[in-house]
Structure 1
Amino acid sequence: MSTTELADPPVARRREAAPATEGPRGKPSPLLARRRRLFWPLLLPAVLVYLVFFAGPSLFTFWLSLNKWAGAGPMSFVGLDNYQRLFEDPTFRQSFANTLWIIFGVGGLTFAVSFGLTMVLREMRGRKAARSILFFPNIVPTLALAILWGFLFQHDGLADSLASMLGMSQPPNWLGQENLFRVIMIGLVWTSTGFYTTILMAAVDQIPPELYEDCDLAGANAFQKFRHVTLPLIWEVAGVCAVLWTISAVKVFEFIYAFAGAAGQMPDTGVWNTAIYTYGEAFASGGVPRYGSAAASAVVMLALVGVLVVLIRRIMRRDTVQF
């Protein structure tokens, strides 16, 4: 043992434990120095893309929402008048209510069906083929699904045939104004369930089978297994799915537009959501476009998504379960 080690053993140990990123005199190692030199050259392109295609248009949209503009000519600053007009417009209030119905009503039913399918598919033979069938609507263009959904619910279509088989002498008018939005919500559940079931089942597949074997020995039924084993262990994935659904639900457009609209015509205002309303304000078939009002509606949509995502993350925050 050297004299230095006898005189100050802690110093020697600190030298031995010095990180590999530091040089002999505490200077950054060549590897760390190269990493620092490459940091901005690699990060700058992504930052520029974000600023040009995301942050920039978002800021311009907010500025546009404070102005009155028809798409040509100078803008006239009106402050918060566009927002005041939105909340005084009964069409926007109906559209906003429909958006909330899609987020919470369709979302709640979608996740209820998805959780139910996870209980069934986990112990089902041929579950991989079943997952592929459930996921199929997500690989088909939304426009084609909306057209198919319209054929199913038209007069003397499949829905009327099933209603007659169930004993209904007079099937309801599915495409009437009193039922149209309900049919749209059912269609959104159909098109969304397979996507979230696939994500949840991918998380379920990571759960050790020994846990379910212990449940079988204890005599637990399928719901008890789901409540005490499956749900706690996929809780974080379910939270991510809830955030994804919130973002996608606010942006629902093609399905409603193609299903409820006619050729070259907007759907009836009773089935509008905020995305359809924004489109109608900016690209109305008749009259002068109101880009300021459309931008204000888009800002409200963005604020709604931001608030709901923060609430979902806080509500679903739990300690990570190790398994």
Structure 2
Amino acid sequence: MAVLTAGRREHGPPVRGAARDTPLAIKRRRLFWPFVAPSLTFLAVFYIGPLLFGIWTSLHKWDGYSAMEWNGLGSYRTLVDDPFFRTSMLNTFKILVFVGVAVFVLAFALTMVLREMAGRRFVRAVIFFPHIVNAMVFGVLAGFLFNPGGLVNSALSWLGVDDPPKWLGSDNVFLLIMATMVCTSTGFYVAILMAAVDNIPAYLYEDAELAGAGAFRKFWHITLPLSWDVVTVCAVLWTISSVKVFELVLVFGGTFTTSGPPIETWTSALYIYRNAFTGDHIPQFGVVCAAGITNLVLVAVFTALLRRLMRRDPVEF
């Protein structure tokens, strides 16, 4: 009995921390900072540093030339009272919600159609292609199609419509921008979702068909649960990208007017640009930085809430 006990002590579990002293562990610890330091330096110089400077600037009045003047939260109060900022935030929220819902509904529908389609790789590439096209192309295309003498109005006149809508007017151009975003963004999320759906075993769908499940039931009980992690990532990506919409609005609204995009089309990113770099008035970098910090906080809050609402136990197969 004494011998067995001694054997257990001799061949028992190693002392905690002993694995850290192996030659391989020592080499890994030595290589940690040489590998991590460049990334941390890049992050500190180009992200953390500008962020801290932006926060500091948002608490001051500054035109970029004279000395900074302490303003506290005055810049944030200016944003609350600015109708242009409220309009830009409302438009950003419309893009986040309405365009996002349309994009994901179409992406899910196309994913289910393409799952069993012959030549789906080619179709997936065709759908993805608009996402990589420069926004200037869509601005030129919009002018060709929707100008008063463009192709769309010509077709409507041929059909007997005497007073076609002013597609590029301030009342309609933002709807046109949102429709363009749906067309250009859907393919990107279809490609990501299809990568997840391709990994789902085919026998699960075969069993569902034998049980009499239709297309919607197969999507709801098989496709969506087994690709939920990817759907969550797509939702976070859309939340981040929707707040940064800039060039499409600038091209659509600024190509056809000399004064730039109309106020009705401004997003939060365009608000920052127009108040900082257009030269129409003296820059107020305190207000601009306050708008940027507000956007950052909203993205962080929306992302955290979204991840919490979409959190669920993983489904294994």
- Shorter-chain TM-score: what band? over 0.9
Output the amino acid matched with 2:263. Answer: T
2:58 aligned residue: 65
1:249 aligned residue: 242
Alignment partner of 1:9 out of 7, 10, 28 = 7
Cα gap change, 1:234 to 1:290, in 2 (>3 Å): same
Alignment partner of 1:98 out of 91, 101, 110 = 91
Task: Tell me the distance in 1 between the aligned counterparts of 2:162 and 2:223.
Answer: 44
More divergent stretch after superposition (175-184 vs 51-60): 175-184
Deviations 1:55-83 (A, max 9, x none): 00011011111111111121111111111
Output the amino acid matched with 1:22. Answer: A
Task: Tell me the distance in 2 between the aligned counterparts of 1:195 and 1:121.
Answer: 14
Task: Tell me the distance in 2 between the aligned counterparts of 1:285 and 1:36.
Answer: 52
1:214 to 2:203 alignment: no
1:289 to 2:283 alignment: yes
In the superposition, the TM-score normalised over structure 2's length comes to: 0.93
Task: Tell me the distance in 2 between the aligned counterparts of 1:112 and 1:158.
Answer: 29
Task: Tell me the distance in 1 between the aligned counterparts of 2:159 and 2:112.
Answer: 28
Superposed displacement of residue 143, structure 1 = 2.2
Cα gap change, 1:184 to 1:230, in 2 (>3 Å): same
Identity of paired residues, percent?
Answer: 47
Alignment partner of 2:295 out of 301, 309, 319 = 301
In the superposition, the TM-score normalised over structure 1's length comes to: 0.92
Give matches, 1:169-318, under 5 Å: 170-262=163-255, 265-318=259-312
Cα gap change, 1:211 to 1:91, in 2 (>3 Å): same
Alignment partner of 2:48 out of 49, 55, 68 = 55
2:148 aligned residue: 155
**SS of the residue aligned with 1:108?**
helix
Deviations 1:204-263 (A, max 9, x none): 000000000011111211111111110111111011001001111100100000111147
Task: Tell me the distance in 2 between the aligned counterparts of 1:120 and 1:245.
Answer: 22
Superposed displacement of residue 280, structure 1 = 0.8
Task: Tell me the distance in 1 between the aligned counterparts of 2:82 and 2:212.
Answer: 57
Deviations 1:13-40 (A, max 9, x none): 31xx5499837xxx71111111112222
Check the 8 A contact 2:143/2:150 in 1, yes or no: no
Deviations 1:269-314 (A, max 9, x none): 1110110000011013322111111111101110110000000000
Cα gap change, 1:313 to 1:37, in 2 (>3 Å): same
Output the amino acid matched with 2:18. Answer: E
| Unmatched 5+ stretches in structure 1 | none
Deviations 1:148-176 (A, max 9, x none): 23322222434335656877554322112
Check the 8 A contact 2:171/2:264 in 1, yes or no: no
Superposed displacement of residue 46, structure 1 = 1.3
**SS of the residue aligned with 1:73?**
coil
Cα gap change, 1:104 to 1:126, in 2 (>3 Å): same
Matched residues, number: 316
Task: Tell me the distance in 2 between the aligned counterparts of 1:19 and 1:135.
Answer: 55
Alignment partner of 1:22 out of 18, 23, 35 = 18
Give matches, 1:66-81, under 5 Å: 66-81=59-74
| Unmatched 5+ stretches in structure 2 | none
